[in-house]
Amino acid sequence: MSTDRLNIDGHTRIFGLIGNPVGHTMSPVIHNTLAAYYGHNLIYGAFPVADDPVKAVEGAYALGIGGLNVTVPHKSAVIPALVETDDFAFKIGAVNTLVRMDEKGGYKGYNTDMPGLYRAMCQEDITIAGETVVILGAGGAARAVAMMTASKGAVRVSVLNRTVSKAEAIVKEITALYPDCQMCAGSIYDLHDLPEEKFLCIQATSTGMSPHADQAVIEDGAFYERIHTGFDLVYNPYDTKFMQLVRQAGGKAYNGLNMLLYQGVVAYELWNDMQVGEEAVSLVRRRLKEEMGL
Ligand code: ATR
């Protein structure tokens, strides 16, 4: 055990994550690594909040907590507790980052998941503007991805889901906001109506997450022939079945670890009013991989 004293004093700013459960979270690795790298006097912990996230947010503000991340199942439920919500987060209907605004007497909510995904894609030179995109899933994550891709200028977005009515609801809602993007809904069981050109496919279902690493939401090899780039939001396992199928068919495949990393980086930037550099990002990536035993 290290005998080094943590440099916590009366000026240390306290940040953290609220959600349920929070035991598995890797966010403390991201934020405490960045704080150590930049010499910022702050610590980041995890607060399990089972019920009443609104009370938790109000209590956090009263205690002087500098900012919070919010995870499942409270990303929408905390919104009524905020003094302001960023426009894009409001459209998505989910916030994952709360920034303290003393002048307004509360927190402003942001969604850094989608900027995080966008930055992770930019880092791999994956473009969205002008692109044809197929999104697998129609839950909260898929809905946000559909919003992000439409807002970044994708020309065509198809949303495929097990429950088609949920995909249809997303398409209807996002078409109203971004009419220039051609959107359509479909079933993961009927792949006859796919775009003609090769596409970017974003896997936004929970299928294939550990311990179900041997599963992919679509197994049909012909589907994977159509993908030039596959991006799985799942990062555990590190190499998902979806990614393996994309690669076997000749496409490039990425997991969700960089999205996790950059959603944290964007939150850290909002809390500290700064830009995090690539050297610090690389250090955090190494720490996250160590944490995952990679
Ligand atoms: P999140 O907030 O992470 O998006 P969610 O809202 O529960 O989580 O959505 C989970 C997504 O994974 C949904 O698209 C779900 O399909 P349904 O809408 O039909 O439920 C999809 N999903 C989960 N398990 C699946 C499975 N075994 N096969 C196909 N799709 C699955």
Euclidean distance between CA atoms 44 and 158, whole angstroms: 38
Euclidean distance between CA atoms 178 and 215, whole angstroms: 33
Ligand 1 in reach of 189 Cβ (< 6 A)? no
- Beta strand pairing call for 252-254 and 227-232: parallel
Distance 133 CA to ligand 1 centre (A): 18
Looking at residue 286, what is its pLDDT?
98
Distance 111 CA to ligand 1 centre (A): 20
Ligand 1 in reach of 139 Cβ (< 6 A)? yes
Euclidean distance between CA atoms 83 and 27, whole angstroms: 24
Looking at residue 7, what is its pLDDT?
83
Mutate to test the pocket of ligand 1, among 143, 163, 168, 206 (most ligand atoms within 8 A of CB): 206
Long-range CB contacts (< 8 A, 24+ apart) of 162-170? 162/187, 162/188, 162/189, 162/205, 162/217, 163/138, 166/138, 166/139, 167/138, 169/138, 170/138, 170/142, 170/143, 170/146
**Atom from ligand 1 closest to the CA of residue 215:** 27
SS3 16: strand
Looking at residue 3, what is its pLDDT?
53
Looking at residue 95, what is its pLDDT?
97
Euclidean distance between CA atoms 13 and 42, whole angstroms: 4
**For atom 11 of ligand 1, which residue has the closest CA?**
205
Q: Is 75 a catalytic residue?
A: yes
Please check whether residue 17 is in contact with residue 41, taking contact to mean a CB–CB distance below 8 angstroms.
no
Phi and psi dihedrals of 199, rounded to 5?
-135, 165
User: pLDDT in tens for each of the 294 residues of the chain?
Assistant: 555 567 899 999 999 999 999 999 999 999 999 999 999 999 999 999 999 999 999 999 999 999 999 999 999 999 999 999 999 999 999 999 999 999 999 999 999 999 999 999 999 999 999 999 999 999 999 999 999 999 999 999 999 999 999 999 999 999 999 999 999 999 999 998 899 899 999 999 999 999 999 999 999 999 999 999 999 999 999 999 999 999 999 999 999 999 999 999 999 999 999 999 999 999 999 999 999 999
- Contacts of residue 187, Cβ cutoff 8 Å, sequence gap at least 6: 160, 161, 162, 164, 167
Looking at residue 4, what is its pLDDT?
59
Distance 139 CA to ligand 1 centre (A): 6
Residue range 204-247, pLDDT digits in tens: 999 999 999 999 999 999 999 999 999 999 999 999 999 999 99
Please check whether residue 158 is in contact with residue 145, taking contact to mean a CB–CB distance below 8 angstroms.
no
Against a cut of 0.85, is the pTM above it?
Answer: yes
**For atom 2 of ligand 1, which residue has the closest CA?**
140
Ligand 1 in reach of 96 Cβ (< 6 A)? no
**For atom 27 of ligand 1, which residue has the closest CA?**
207
SS3 80: helix
